[in-house]
Every structure is written in structure tokens, then in C-alpha cells.
Chains A and B, each alone.
Chain A
């Protein structure tokens, strides 16, 4: 026990020294997970299914942003308003591409099944099929090697928190994601459209009897979730680069975050994403990077054992 105590003591010292460095990076990662997790949760809310093609929606956003950057960024790194303009354009393109890909998946892979009242398992297979089709198509069109995005800004330190630098990249993620989360919360909670989404999530049949257009509501849900996923793909690609299968791992993490926070619960998805991102980053103090996933999924299992519906509980209908 003495040596274990010593182990903990030295590692807690390290944690104290590095906490804010790891925390800042963890928040940035967590916000990205959250943006993708929201897409899973929205679709789960209205359709009661996991959209396994969401990783490819993320990827389409990444590539759309990449092509915008490649077209706009010249030999020198832009600065000032030019940077802002390029990033806004990239976000718009990525959001549009994500929404378009989501609409395509909904029309081709889900709507025909819904019309025929197919069993849940058929949706799952259809989603996996759409996912494979899309990422292989991207691999064929754009190659199988990861390429880095041209940088639209200089990634300097903007300010520090307790000595830990907050980079321009972290700040962009923070601003973009918070704006989108607030807008989404308002959309779902305060608008007529949001009421439609919530009513379909609660009881689709009754909602339809009350005059809610289910097809339209579901289509819009996919568009909203797809736009967020696409923008997340762009922000992820900014720092990491784009490749045909870039969506797989982040989407798996985001799915985990959605379940952690309570699948079907929008605020839960954000909480789950942030928690996962921060815990993952902090645990490198105690274990090597090789075991990050072990810790992350261990926590998921523990949370689900205590709260099977996730941290904030399940329902999109009420909590949002």
C-alpha cells in the first residue's frame, strides 16, 4: 500500500501541475464530441434509432471545409477579418454539407423503411450500409491518405488560464459550439418547430393526429443534427486534417458521450461530451495515452450501472 500511496501522491502532484493545460484541451475535445453527440441524440429522440451514418455526416463537413480552405487560403496565412471571413465560410459550407448528407441518408436509408414499417434491425443495417457507402465513396474520390487543412489563421495563444495557454483554435471551438448550442436550445425549447420535434419525440402517432407533419419534422431534425455534425467535422479537420474515414472514431466517442449524458437528451449530450473530453485528457496523468479509451469506457459502464438512463436521463420530449 505504501508504494500505491506514493504512486497516487506523485501523480496527484503531476495532476496539479498539468491540470489546466489538460483541462483546456479536454474542454475543446469535449465540445467537439458534444456537437456530434447532439446529432445522435436528436435523431434518437424522433426516430428511436442510432444514426450510424452520422460519422459520415461529420466527414462530409470536414471535406467541405477543407475545400473552402484550399480555395481561399493562399501562400501566406491570412489574419484579421480575412481569417474570420474564411472561417465563417468554412462553417457555412461544412454545415450545409452536413445537412445535405444527413438529408440524403434520411431520404435514402430511413424514409423508405419507415414507409414500410420495417423492424428496428432493418434501420440499423441500412444505416451501416449508408455509412460504408459514403466513406468508401469519399475514399475513392479524395484518396485514402490524411491531408491537413490549409490554416486560415495563426494559432497563437490568446490568453492563459492559470498558466495554461488558450489557443485561437480552442477559442474558435468554444465560440462556435456555444453559439450553436444556445441556438439549438432555443430552437427546440421555444419555437413552433421545436414543439413539433418534441411532440414527435414524445409520441409520434398522437403528434401526427394533432396535425404535426411527421415527415417534415423528421427531415428538419436530420438537417439540424447534420449541420452541427458537419460544423464539428470542419473544426476537427482544422487541426487534425481530413481523410475518408475521419468520422469513425470521433463519432464513436460522441455516441458514447450521448449515452453518458442520457440519449435523447440535448443538454445531456453536451454534458456527456464535455465530461468525456475532460476525463480523457486528465487521465493521461495516471495512465498512458494507450489506455485513455479503457478509462473512458470504464467510466461509461460505471455511470450506466448507477444511472442506466445516463447522467441527465433519457427523454428529448421533456428535458429539452
Chain B
């Protein structure tokens, strides 16, 4: 509670400071003494996600980006058409708490839309309440594919869902990079096997020769019970297959062990993996660390290359946007909502919850992570999967696949 309070105070104080720097419009923003214009209407954009509990950091990553977008809109005193406020709804990422928070959000008369919910389970539980009240929800991070199949007209997300990544990775390797022979490994986990299967299927239909193998997760990485000594033999198989590229469906720790073995086995092809391996811990866990160089990592999440955003975010949150997963997406989600509200006014329509939902279905907004345009079911259009590369021990974003 203390955190929420102080942040709200900070937000109000900072916008007040900005307002005071331009004395001519002080009156219009405070609404106390009207001189030139009507007082601007106030709307609330809510954020629903984990703001306490074990997933707090993820929620903080997002809510600061939402707050930044709102502050930036409010600060533009000459052009703003309304005043925005942020309301925080803490669902702890928990599906049993999110319905309560959703009902509280719906009850707030000034609330126009929600950025979030952050987690897929919480979204599934909360969405019926938002749908009933026609509150648009734009999630920066809920990636479960089933969420787009429930017929919720108000549901949007600015990240690709989990079913997009595998085919996009296969297309990238086969079509963009031109690899004709692929060795596809999975770690035996539900995530890794599903991703590897999707890659193998798409690569085959793209015309590549595909060899698949299961190399189970090891006890060394807490991903299974296999012995970490298996990788030397597995690497020999990869080299012997003659494949020019290998895809690994699994997590960073086991991939790190595999990379070490591949390097000592003389493998010279390309290695690619998905978001489960997209972590700096991959490089720390690879022996020698140089064996991780050149590895491609895909993720629906984007690193921010936008200097203005990074600076504003750092000032507001006191931590770097570079490590704040889903912060750029949250910023885009908020700005997409704001763009929708502005578009309504431009068409001389009233800003209502239902009108905003209809507008978001039509909108095209150029964000910092991608061009935001939604499919009919609320999913983001295009593959929207980013590819990163390990270069000199650092993960560098190359761009969209």
C-alpha cells in the first residue's frame, strides 16, 4: 500500500510540476478557476497484474511502463484532450484473486480500459467480468493460445501467443536463413517438446530435411533426472547428422551444457532456441562461455532499443528497461489504448468503454516494439517474434523474424 500511495503521489506531483512550468494553462488543468477552456475530462486506465507476492518484479516492470505512458500523455499540456489517471489492481498473478480485482475495476466509473491482466490464468478468470462490462483489456504478456478462442470481444494482446513461436522459428531458419537440413532436439518437457514439434512440422513443410531427437533434461539443471554426461554422445549425433542448423526446444541450463559438448565435438553449424533459453544465465552456464556465441534465441518479448523510452523508464522506476521483461510491451499497450481514445475524439465519437473496444479492433498504432494491429480474436497481427543473438557474451536483439 505504501508503494502504491507514494507512486501515485509522485505521478501527481510530477504532472503538477510540469503544469506549473506553463502558467497559462494552470487553470485548465486544475479545473479550479476556468479562464480559457472547459476543464478536461478525466479517464482512468487500469493495470491488472502482480503487484505483490512472488511475481512482484514482473508486475513492477509493467506498471512503471504504463505509468510512463500516462505521464507522458498528461505532460503534453498543449495537445492533451483529456487527463489520464492510473489505477492499480493487484491480482498477484493469481486466478483466484483476479475476479475480485476485475470487479473492482469494472465498478470504477471513470475506468475506460485495462492494461493486462498480466498472467494467462488470471486473465482467463477475470475476462468474463471485463467482457460483460465491455472494458477493453490489452495484455502485454498473457501468451496462452486458448485466451483468444473464448469469444471475448474485448480481449487484446500485444505479444504473440505460444503457438506462433515454433512455426516462426522454423520459417526463420529455413526461409530467411536458407538452412536445408535441420536437427531438432527437445528436452522432454511439455514446453520443449511442444516447441520442438512445432518447429519440426513447419520446417518440413518449408521443404527442409528434419531429424528429431529427444535429449532429456538433466538433474544438473533440475529439469529432469538424466545424466549431464549424455551431451557428449548427443553432440556426436548432431555432428554426424550433417545438419547445418540445430533447434533446441528447452531451457537455458541444459542448452548451456549441450553447447559446451557441441563445441568440443567440432560442431560448426548454427544453434537456435526459444524463449526458455533467452536468458543471460545461458551464457553463465555454458563451458566455455565462448561456446554460447552465435546462438540465436527467439522470444515474443522485445528488448527496448528506444532510447527515449529507456531513459524515461529508468528515471521513473530507478531500474533499467534493458532487464525489465514486458516493459516495452506494456508501454505499447497503454499507448495503443490512448491512441484509440484520441481516434474516437477525432471521429467526434464519445469515449466510452464499448466505443473503445470497437476502435481497438480497427486501430493501427506504431509502437516501440512493433506495429500494433489486432486480429479479429484479439491476437496481435503478424508473427511478432523477435530473434536475438549471443554476441561476445551478450544477448543482442536482431529484430523481428
- Choose among B213, B237, B285 the residue that contacts A145 (Cβ–Cβ < 8 A): B285
Question: Residue B27 at the A interface, CB < 8 A?
Answer: no
User: Does more than half of chain A's interface fall in helix, strand or loop, or is it mixed?
Assistant: helix
- Choose among B213, B236, B264 the residue that contacts A18 (Cβ–Cβ < 8 A): B236
Question: Residue B401 at the A interface, CB < 8 A?
Answer: no
Q: Which of B234, B260, B264 has the most CB of A within 10 A?
A: B264
In Å, the complex CA distance between A249 and B234 comes to 18
In Å, the complex CA distance between A231 and B281 comes to 26
Residue contact B221 to A289, C-beta cutoff 8 Å: no
Interface residues of A in 246-292 (CB under 8 A from B): 246, 248-250, 253, 277, 280-281, 284-285, 288-290, 292
- Choose among B188, B236, B264, B265 the residue that contacts A284 (Cβ–Cβ < 8 A): B236
Residue contact B220 to A241, C-beta cutoff 8 Å: yes
Question: Residue B287 at the A interface, CB < 8 A?
Answer: yes
In Å, the complex CA distance between A239 and B229 comes to 9
Given known contacts A32-B229, A290-B214, A292-B226, A169 and B264 CB-to-CB distance under 8 angstroms: yes
Residue contact A146 to B285, C-beta cutoff 8 Å: yes
- Choose among B220, B233, B264, B286 the residue that contacts A289 (Cβ–Cβ < 8 A): B233
Chain A nearest CB: distance from B389 CB in Å? 20
Given known contacts A151-B288, A284-B237, A249 and B232 CB-to-CB distance under 8 angstroms: no
Question: Residue A21 at the B interface, CB < 8 A?
Answer: yes
Question: Residue A167 at the B interface, CB < 8 A?
Answer: yes
Residue contact B219 to A248, C-beta cutoff 8 Å: yes
Chain A nearest CB: distance from B377 CB in Å? 36
Residue contact B285 to A241, C-beta cutoff 8 Å: yes
- Choose among B213, B219, B286, B289 the residue that contacts A245 (Cβ–Cβ < 8 A): B219
Residue contact B219 to A249, C-beta cutoff 8 Å: yes
Residue contact B222 to A144, C-beta cutoff 8 Å: yes
Q: Which of A18, A21, A29, A155 has the most CB of B within 10 A?
A: A21
For residue B288, which residues in chain A have a CB less than 8 angstroms away from its CB?
77, 148, 151, 155
Residue contact A240 to B287, C-beta cutoff 8 Å: yes
In Å, the complex CA distance between A290 and B215 comes to 5
Residue contact B237 to A293, C-beta cutoff 8 Å: no
- Choose among A169, A246, A288, A293 the residue that contacts B220 (Cβ–Cβ < 8 A): A246
For residue B325, which residues in chain A have a CB less than 8 angstroms away from its CB?
none
Chain A nearest CB: distance from B392 CB in Å? 13
For residue A17, which residues in chain B have a CB less than 8 angstroms away from its CB?
240
Residue contact B236 to A22, C-beta cutoff 8 Å: yes
For residue A134, which residues in chain B have a CB less than 8 angstroms away from its CB?
none
In Å, the complex CA distance between A149 and B220 comes to 14
Chain A nearest CB: distance from B262 CB in Å? 13
Q: Mark A203-245, 1 if CB is under 8 A from B, else 0.
A: 0000000000000000000000000000000001011110101
Interface residues of A in 1-60 (CB under 8 A from B): 14, 17-18, 21-22, 25-26, 28-29, 32
Chain B nearest CB: distance from A11 CB in Å? 12
In Å, the complex CA distance between A82 and B188 comes to 41
Given known contacts A167-B264, A246-B220, A290-B215, A241 and B229 CB-to-CB distance under 8 angstroms: no
For residue A155, which residues in chain B have a CB less than 8 angstroms away from its CB?
264, 288
Question: Residue A125 at the B interface, CB < 8 A?
Answer: no
Question: Residue B26 at the A interface, CB < 8 A?
Answer: no
Q: Mark B337-365, 1 if CB is under 8 A from A, else 0.
A: 00000000000000000000000000000
> Nearest residue in B to A21 (C-beta to C-beta)?
B236
- Choose among A145, A248, A249, A253 the residue that contacts B281 (Cβ–Cβ < 8 A): A145
- Choose among A14, A148, A165, A284 the residue that contacts B286 (Cβ–Cβ < 8 A): A148
In Å, the complex CA distance between A29 and B261 comes to 13
Chain B nearest CB: distance from A44 CB in Å? 22
Question: Residue B230 at the A interface, CB < 8 A?
Answer: yes
Given known contacts A249-B218, A289-B216, A290-B215, A281 and B284 CB-to-CB distance under 8 angstroms: no
Q: Mark B227-260, 1 if CB is under 8 A from A, else 0.
A: 1111011101101100000000000010011001
Residue contact A29 to B286, C-beta cutoff 8 Å: no
For residue B229, which residues in chain A have a CB less than 8 angstroms away from its CB?
29, 32, 240, 250, 253, 277, 280
Question: Residue B54 at the A interface, CB < 8 A?
Answer: no
For residue B265, which residues in chain A have a CB less than 8 angstroms away from its CB?
21
Chain A nearest CB: distance from B257 CB in Å? 6
In Å, the complex CA distance between A250 and B225 comes to 10
Given known contacts A25-B233, A145-B285, A146-B220, A253 and B227 CB-to-CB distance under 8 angstroms: yes
For residue B256, which residues in chain A have a CB less than 8 angstroms away from its CB?
146, 148, 241
Residue contact B225 to A148, C-beta cutoff 8 Å: no
Question: Residue B266 at the A interface, CB < 8 A?
Answer: yes
Residue contact A288 to B264, C-beta cutoff 8 Å: no
For residue B237, which residues in chain A have a CB less than 8 angstroms away from its CB?
18, 284-285, 289
In Å, the complex CA distance between A245 and B216 comes to 17
For residue B216, which residues in chain A have a CB less than 8 angstroms away from its CB?
289-290
Chain A nearest CB: distance from B215 CB in Å? 4
For residue A285, which residues in chain B have a CB less than 8 angstroms away from its CB?
237
> Nearest residue in A to B215 (C-beta to C-beta)?
A289
Given known contacts A240-B228, A293-B227, A165 and B266 CB-to-CB distance under 8 angstroms: yes
Chain A nearest CB: distance from B180 CB in Å? 21
Q: Mark B169-192, 1 if CB is under 8 A from A, else 0.
A: 000000000000000000010000
> Nearest residue in B to A149 (C-beta to C-beta)?
B287
Residue contact B230 to A239, C-beta cutoff 8 Å: no
Question: Residue A147 at the B interface, CB < 8 A?
Answer: yes
Chain A nearest CB: distance from B259 CB in Å? 10
Additional A-B contacts beyond A239-B260, A277-B229 (4; CB < 8 A): A25-B233, A249-B225, A285-B237, A289-B214
Q: List 29 A-B contacts (CB under 8 A).
A: A18-B236, A18-B237, A22-B236, A145-B281, A147-B284, A148-B285, A148-B289, A151-B288, A165-B266, A239-B260, A239-B287, A241-B285, A245-B219, A249-B218, A249-B227, A280-B229, A280-B230, A284-B230, A284-B233, A284-B237, A285-B237, A288-B213, A288-B214, A289-B215, A289-B216, A289-B230, A290-B188, A290-B226, A292-B233
B contacts, CB < 8 Å to A: 188, 213-216, 218-222, 225-230, 232-234, 236-237, 239-240, 253, 256-257, 260, 264-266, 281, 284-289
